[in-house]
Amino acid sequence: MKRPTIGTVYAVYWLAKQVLKVGIMWRDSRICQMVDPGGEVLMIMRDSPAGWEPYALRELAKTWPRAFATADESEIILRRGRGYTECYRVPLNELPAAVDAILRGTIRHDAEQTTNVDGRGVPADPTVPAGAESDRRGASDACRRPRPRPWSS
């Protein structure tokens, strides 16, 4: 079975263990498995490219050590040790920097995905920003149009 290309990237932190886990899920029940042993959800980024997760993990690995050497060690917080390689030892006072690292990873992923073969970036969308010109069929006009009210006759 092929891995989906879109999922939900998340970050969960266990204060008592000072462990931060970043992962990707396709079912919300995965989060429940981590919250039960005391995990606090820091981020949930729905409809995210699957590539965000490895880029975020690479950014974390530049600064923080892995929290567990084996799956068995991680079973105190992770069911059957699943995802232990995605856990990092992050002291509470460094948590904002770790969240920044996760976001840097997602930005780096997007930047690399928008670079075409000749190494130059893909041109920006040439559409005009909303409100920049008078377009009577646009969203601003939709706000002014009367809406039918089903309860009135």
Q: What is the pLDDT of residues 86-99, one digit of tens each?
A: 999 999 999 999 99
* pLDDT (average), residues 72-85: 90
Residue 1 lies in a domain: no
> At 62, which amino acid appears?
K
Determine the structural domain holding residue 100 and report its residue range: 6-113
Note whether residue 99 is domain-resident: yes
Decide which of 138 and 28 is more confident: 28
Mean pLDDT of the chain: 80
- Is residue 4 predicted with pLDDT exceeding 80? no
pTM: 0.71
Closest CA to 113 of 50, 44, 46, 30: 50
* CB contact set of 95 (below 8 Å; sequence gap of 6+): 13, 20, 42
Measured CA to CA, the distance from residue 57 to residue 78 in angstroms comes to: 17
- What whole-number distance in Å separates Cα of residue 149 and Cα of residue 153? 8
Residue 42 counted as domain residue: yes
Number of domains in the chain: 1
pLDDT higher at 117 or 150: 150
Q: Are 84 and 73 in contact (CB under 8 A)?
A: yes
Residue 130 has pLDDT above 80, yes or no: no
Residue 142, SS3 per DSSP: helix
d(CA 20, CA 67) in angstroms, rounded, equals: 8
Domain membership of residue 135 (yes or no) is no
The average pLDDT across 130-135 equals 47
